Structure 1
Amino acid sequence: MAAETFPSAEPARTSEPPLTAIRALPSWILGRAAARGRALVADALAAEGLKMWHHVALSAVRDLAPVAQADLARGIALDPKDLVGILNDLQRAGLVVRTPDPRDRRKNAVSLTEEGGLLLERCEQAARTANEELLAPLSAAERELFMLLLTRISGAEG
């Protein structure tokens, strides 16, 4: 019986480096830039003892306080069950307090403690420094244009 021949499972060899077409896509490049930015900010926050979602929650609590947990979860687009764990961590660390919501005693209202506010200020500075590092290759004019264009393509305008 004659052996069947199948096409090779190996990709054809070319002189181009792998993934050239993929790496030329704006979405690929934007994703890589976003990953680098997240890593820089995460490292800066870690130096302050905070994780990214903890920072997001602290920032939102500062801006919305006193805020009901459910409203906070909606405001930062996080599953309420996940938020409970983050708030537990923040409360154990003395960074937030949960008290009965004066408008609805069945709910908890979350507020920053003084220590939470001070840590948030340090973390915001650390995040700004990390973003400065991310954008360091760009001139001031390029940064302004870059932010304008990013805002436009992200759908975050207005």
Structure 2
Amino acid sequence: MSNSTPDSGRSADRRPGAARLRHLRTRLLSLAALQSDRLVNEELTRAGARKWHYAVLATLDEFGPASQAELSSRTGIYRSDMVAVIKELADRAWVERSPNPADRRQNIIVLTEQGSRQLPELDGLLARVEDEVLAPLTPSERDQLARLLAALVDHHGQAM
């Protein structure tokens, strides 16, 4: 048994794995997710953003101003991590924080004009990554995959 870890080289450079591993759906799902996650993180980093930034911006764009607790609930980002995410976004002037007039202990987060301009750029970047990740699939297979993955996420109660 080798102690080496798989590299990110071309798949043609790799030896075939055990058949039972190729048919283990949870392993395939994990490997595909790892590759997708790596590509998304690399491209967002090049754009000066992170996945959590995108999640907050997209949520504010769709639902409007929200408390940090509401954003945490809608995005699945832990409340303790949300504080840092909001700070990073505010430092970039993509969001603004202001005290909630109804509850001064709570901040309301608002998408800024600059954040609104950034969001379509991130949408395009993620669409390009998705095209790369899903390149071997037809449009109908991509739609089917999205439905199946959403069913899994919904079943396990994860925030999207």
TM-score tier, shorter chain, comes to 0.7 to 0.9
- Matched letter for residue 107 of structure 1: Q
The TM-score normalised by the length of structure 1 is 0.79
Tell me the secondary structure at the aligned position of residue 106 of structure 2: strand
Q: Identity over aligned residues, as a percent?
A: 30
CA distance in 2, matches of 1:84, 1:108: 10
Q: CA deviation at 1:34?
A: 1.1
* TM-score, normalised by the number of residues in structure 2: 0.78
* Deviation of 1:32 (Å): 0.7
Structure 2 matches for 1:16-27, cutoff 5 A? 20-27=19-26
- Give 1:34's aligned amino acid: A
Which is worse superposed, 18-27 or 33-42? Answer: 18-27
Q: What corresponds to 1:137 in structure 2?
A: 136
User: What letter corresponds to residue 65 of structure 1 in structure 2?
Assistant: G
CA distance in 2, matches of 1:138, 1:65: 34
**Secondary structure of the corresponding residue to residue 49 of structure 2:** coil
Q: Could you list the structure 1 runs, at least 4 aligned residues long, displaced by more than 6 angstroms after superposition.
A: none
State how far apart, in whole Å, the 1-side matches of 2:116 and 2:136 are: 32
1:118 pairs with 2:117: yes
Q: Counterpart of 2:100?
A: 101
What SS does the aligned partner of 1:109 have?
A: strand
Gapped runs of 5+ residues in structure 2?
2-15, 156-160
1:79 deviation in Å? 1.8
Structure 1 residue runs of 5 or longer lacking an equivalent are 1-9, 11-16
- The alpha-carbon deviation at position 150 of structure 1 amounts to 2.7
Cα distance, 1:58 vs structure 2? 1.7
- CA distance in 2: counterparts of 1:110 and 1:92, whole angstroms: 13
After superposition, the CA RMSD in angstroms is 2.3
Give the match for residue 81 of structure 2.
82
Q: Which has the larger radius of gyration?
A: 1
Question: Per the alignment, in what secondary structure is the counterpart of residue 76 of structure 2?
Answer: coil
1:23 Cα deviation after fit: 4.2
Q: Which residue of 2 aligns with 1:63?
A: 62
In the TM superposition, residue 111 of structure 1 has moved relative to its aligned partner by 0.6
Shift in Å at residue 114 of structure 1?
A: 0.8
Q: 1:19 Cα deviation (Å)?
A: 5.5
Give the Cα–Cα distance (whole angstroms) in 2 for the partners of residues 126 and 75 of structure 1. 22
Q: Mark the CA change 1:53 to 1:26 in structure 2 (over 3 Å): closer, same or farther.
A: same
Match of 2:10 in 1: none
Partner deviation per Cα, 1:21-77 (whole Å, 9 max, x = no partner): 344310000111111111222222122110111211222222232101111112112
Q: Tell me the CA shift for residue 154 of structure 1.
A: 3.6
Residues 154 and 88 of structure 1: CA distance in aligned 2, closer, same or farther (over 3 Å): closer
- Residues 127 and 18 of structure 1, relative CA distance in 2, 3 Å threshold: closer
Q: For residue 5 of structure 2, what is the aligned residue in structure 1?
A: none
SS for the counterpart of 2:108 is strand
